[in-house]
Amino acid sequence: MRECMSAEVPAKMLAHIDRVVKLAGAFGEKYDLNVSEIKLAAQGHDLFRALSEKELLYKAQNMDLDIDPVELSSPVLLHGPLAAIELKERFGIKDSQVLETIKWHTTGHPEFSLESWAMFIADKVEPNKIAKNSDLQIVFDIASDSLEKAALTYIDIRIDESLKLGLQIHPMSISTRNALLSKFDAISNK
Protein backbone atom coordinates (compact mmCIF):
# COMPACT_ATOMS: atom_id res chain seq x y z
CA MET A 1 0.00 0.00 0.00
CA ARG A 2 2.92 2.34 0.68
CA GLU A 3 3.85 2.17 -3.02
CA CYS A 4 0.29 3.03 -4.13
CA MET A 5 0.17 5.93 -1.68
CA SER A 6 3.57 7.32 -2.63
CA ALA A 7 2.14 8.48 -5.96
CA GLU A 8 -0.26 10.87 -4.24
CA VAL A 9 1.16 11.62 -0.78
CA PRO A 10 4.00 14.17 -0.44
CA ALA A 11 7.39 12.82 0.68
CA LYS A 12 7.26 14.72 3.97
CA MET A 13 3.93 13.13 4.82
CA LEU A 14 5.19 9.69 3.79
CA ALA A 15 8.13 10.15 6.16
CA HIS A 16 5.70 10.96 9.02
CA ILE A 17 3.63 7.89 8.10
CA ASP A 18 6.78 5.71 8.13
CA ARG A 19 7.63 6.94 11.63
CA VAL A 20 4.07 6.26 12.82
CA VAL A 21 4.09 2.74 11.33
CA LYS A 22 7.36 2.01 13.14
CA LEU A 23 6.33 3.37 16.54
CA ALA A 24 2.79 1.97 16.36
CA GLY A 25 4.26 -1.44 15.53
CA ALA A 26 6.59 -1.16 18.54
CA PHE A 27 3.62 -0.35 20.83
CA GLY A 28 1.79 -3.31 19.34
CA GLU A 29 4.66 -5.65 20.10
CA LYS A 30 5.14 -4.27 23.61
CA TYR A 31 1.47 -4.84 24.47
CA ASP A 32 1.16 -8.10 22.50
CA LEU A 33 -1.49 -6.71 20.14
CA ASN A 34 -2.37 -7.39 16.49
CA VAL A 35 0.66 -5.70 14.93
CA SER A 36 -0.36 -6.13 11.28
CA GLU A 37 -3.73 -4.47 11.95
CA ILE A 38 -2.01 -1.57 13.73
CA LYS A 39 0.55 -1.10 10.96
CA LEU A 40 -2.12 -1.14 8.25
CA ALA A 41 -4.09 1.59 10.04
CA ALA A 42 -0.89 3.60 10.53
CA GLN A 43 0.02 3.21 6.86
CA GLY A 44 -3.33 4.56 5.66
CA HIS A 45 -4.19 7.16 8.28
CA ASP A 46 -2.88 10.32 6.61
CA LEU A 47 -3.72 9.56 2.98
CA PHE A 48 -5.47 12.94 2.75
CA ARG A 49 -3.63 14.95 5.43
CA ALA A 50 -1.83 17.05 2.82
CA LEU A 51 -5.01 18.13 0.99
CA SER A 52 -6.15 21.72 1.31
CA GLU A 53 -9.23 22.66 3.35
CA LYS A 54 -11.05 23.39 0.10
CA GLU A 55 -10.21 19.96 -1.33
CA LEU A 56 -11.27 18.21 1.89
CA LEU A 57 -14.63 20.00 1.94
CA TYR A 58 -15.17 19.30 -1.75
CA LYS A 59 -14.45 15.59 -1.26
CA ALA A 60 -16.67 15.42 1.83
CA GLN A 61 -19.57 16.97 -0.06
CA ASN A 62 -18.98 14.67 -3.04
CA MET A 63 -18.85 11.58 -0.85
CA ASP A 64 -22.04 12.57 0.99
CA LEU A 65 -20.26 12.58 4.32
CA ASP A 66 -22.16 13.93 7.33
CA ILE A 67 -20.18 17.02 8.24
CA ASP A 68 -20.14 18.11 11.87
CA PRO A 69 -20.22 21.93 12.36
CA VAL A 70 -16.79 21.71 14.01
CA GLU A 71 -15.47 19.99 10.87
CA LEU A 72 -16.95 22.72 8.75
CA SER A 73 -14.99 25.35 10.63
CA SER A 74 -11.88 23.14 10.76
CA PRO A 75 -11.93 20.94 7.62
CA VAL A 76 -8.61 19.28 8.50
CA LEU A 77 -10.73 17.13 10.84
CA LEU A 78 -12.23 15.50 7.74
CA HIS A 79 -8.99 13.88 6.57
CA GLY A 80 -9.48 10.73 8.67
CA PRO A 81 -13.15 10.06 7.79
CA LEU A 82 -12.43 10.69 4.09
CA ALA A 83 -9.35 8.45 4.08
CA ALA A 84 -11.37 5.61 5.63
CA ILE A 85 -13.92 5.79 2.81
CA GLU A 86 -11.28 6.02 0.08
CA LEU A 87 -9.12 3.21 1.50
CA LYS A 88 -12.14 0.93 1.55
CA GLU A 89 -13.32 1.81 -1.94
CA ARG A 90 -10.07 2.27 -3.83
CA PHE A 91 -7.45 0.37 -1.84
CA GLY A 92 -9.69 -2.55 -0.90
CA ILE A 93 -9.19 -2.39 2.86
CA LYS A 94 -12.02 -4.40 4.39
CA ASP A 95 -11.05 -4.67 8.06
CA SER A 96 -13.66 -2.52 9.82
CA GLN A 97 -11.47 -2.01 12.88
CA VAL A 98 -8.65 -0.65 10.70
CA LEU A 99 -11.11 1.65 8.95
CA GLU A 100 -12.59 2.90 12.24
CA THR A 101 -9.10 3.58 13.60
CA ILE A 102 -8.28 5.63 10.51
CA LYS A 103 -11.63 7.42 10.56
CA TRP A 104 -11.25 8.62 14.15
CA HIS A 105 -7.47 8.96 14.43
CA THR A 106 -7.66 12.71 15.08
CA THR A 107 -10.18 12.70 17.93
CA GLY A 108 -10.11 9.14 19.24
CA HIS A 109 -13.34 7.20 19.72
CA PRO A 110 -15.09 5.75 22.81
CA GLU A 111 -14.99 2.25 21.26
CA PHE A 112 -11.31 2.31 20.33
CA SER A 113 -9.44 -0.96 20.87
CA LEU A 114 -5.88 -1.06 22.19
CA GLU A 115 -4.79 -1.57 18.56
CA SER A 116 -6.52 1.72 17.68
CA TRP A 117 -4.90 3.49 20.61
CA ALA A 118 -1.46 2.16 19.64
CA MET A 119 -1.87 3.82 16.24
CA PHE A 120 -3.40 6.98 17.72
CA ILE A 121 -0.63 7.52 20.27
CA ALA A 122 2.16 6.75 17.78
CA ASP A 123 0.70 9.42 15.49
CA LYS A 124 0.84 12.01 18.25
CA VAL A 125 4.26 11.21 19.74
CA GLU A 126 6.43 10.03 16.83
CA PRO A 127 9.91 11.59 17.25
CA ASN A 128 9.31 14.68 15.08
CA LYS A 129 6.12 15.57 16.95
CA ILE A 130 7.95 15.53 20.29
CA ALA A 131 10.84 17.50 18.80
CA LYS A 132 8.33 20.18 17.78
CA ASN A 133 6.39 20.14 21.07
CA SER A 134 8.13 18.87 24.18
CA ASP A 135 4.81 18.94 26.11
CA LEU A 136 4.05 15.67 24.31
CA GLN A 137 6.94 13.83 26.00
CA ILE A 138 4.65 13.03 28.94
CA VAL A 139 2.23 11.28 26.57
CA PHE A 140 5.10 9.15 25.23
CA ASP A 141 6.27 8.35 28.77
CA ILE A 142 2.78 7.34 29.95
CA ALA A 143 2.38 5.13 26.87
CA SER A 144 5.05 2.83 28.28
CA ASP A 145 2.61 2.13 31.13
CA SER A 146 -0.84 2.45 29.51
CA LEU A 147 -1.95 3.40 26.01
CA GLU A 148 -5.37 4.49 27.29
CA LYS A 149 -3.91 6.71 30.02
CA ALA A 150 -1.59 8.22 27.41
CA ALA A 151 -4.62 8.85 25.19
CA LEU A 152 -6.50 10.62 28.00
CA THR A 153 -3.45 12.76 28.75
CA TYR A 154 -3.11 13.70 25.08
CA ILE A 155 -6.81 14.57 24.73
CA ASP A 156 -6.61 16.69 27.90
CA ILE A 157 -3.59 18.58 26.53
CA ARG A 158 -5.44 19.29 23.28
CA ILE A 159 -8.68 20.32 25.00
CA ASP A 160 -6.70 22.60 27.30
CA GLU A 161 -5.07 24.25 24.28
CA SER A 162 -8.42 24.69 22.55
CA LEU A 163 -9.92 26.29 25.67
CA LYS A 164 -6.99 28.69 25.99
CA LEU A 165 -7.22 29.65 22.32
CA GLY A 166 -11.01 29.86 22.32
CA LEU A 167 -11.30 27.12 19.68
CA GLN A 168 -14.15 24.69 19.11
CA ILE A 169 -13.76 21.13 20.41
CA HIS A 170 -14.92 18.16 18.35
CA PRO A 171 -17.79 16.37 20.17
CA MET A 172 -16.05 13.04 19.56
CA SER A 173 -13.05 14.22 21.59
CA ILE A 174 -15.38 14.93 24.53
CA SER A 175 -17.19 11.58 24.17
CA THR A 176 -13.87 9.78 23.99
CA ARG A 177 -12.55 11.56 27.06
CA ASN A 178 -15.72 10.72 29.00
CA ALA A 179 -15.48 7.06 27.96
CA LEU A 180 -11.85 6.83 29.06
CA LEU A 181 -12.62 8.52 32.40
CA SER A 182 -15.57 6.16 33.03
CA LYS A 183 -13.33 3.21 32.28
CA PHE A 184 -10.66 4.36 34.74
CA ASP A 185 -13.35 5.12 37.39
CA ALA A 186 -14.79 1.63 36.95
CA ILE A 187 -11.32 0.11 37.38
CA SER A 188 -10.49 2.16 40.51
CA ASN A 189 -13.89 1.36 42.11
CA LYS A 190 -13.37 -2.37 41.78
Q: Name the residues that contact Fe ion, by CB under 5 A.
A: 46, 49, 123
Measured CA distances, 9 to 1, 17, 53, 187 (Å): 12, 10, 16, 42
20 versus 142: smaller Cβ distance to Fe ion: 20
73 versus 182: smaller Cβ distance to Fe ion: 73
Name the minimum Å distance from CB 49 to Fe ion.
Answer: 5
46 versus 71: smaller Cβ distance to Fe ion: 46
122 versus 152: smaller Cβ distance to Fe ion: 122
Q: What are phi and psi of 137, to 5 degrees?
A: -55, -40
33 versus 83: smaller Cβ distance to Fe ion: 83
Name the minimum Å distance from CB 79 to Fe ion.
Answer: 6
Asked if 87 and 93 touch (Cβ cutoff 8 Å), the reply is yes
Three-class SS state of 117 = helix
Name the minimum Å distance from CB 171 to Fe ion.
Answer: 18
Give the Cα separation of 150 and 141 in Å (integer).
8
Give the Cα separation of 22 and 150 in Å (integer).
18
At position 4, the amino acid (one-letter code) is: C
Give the Cα separation of 113 and 119 in Å (integer).
10
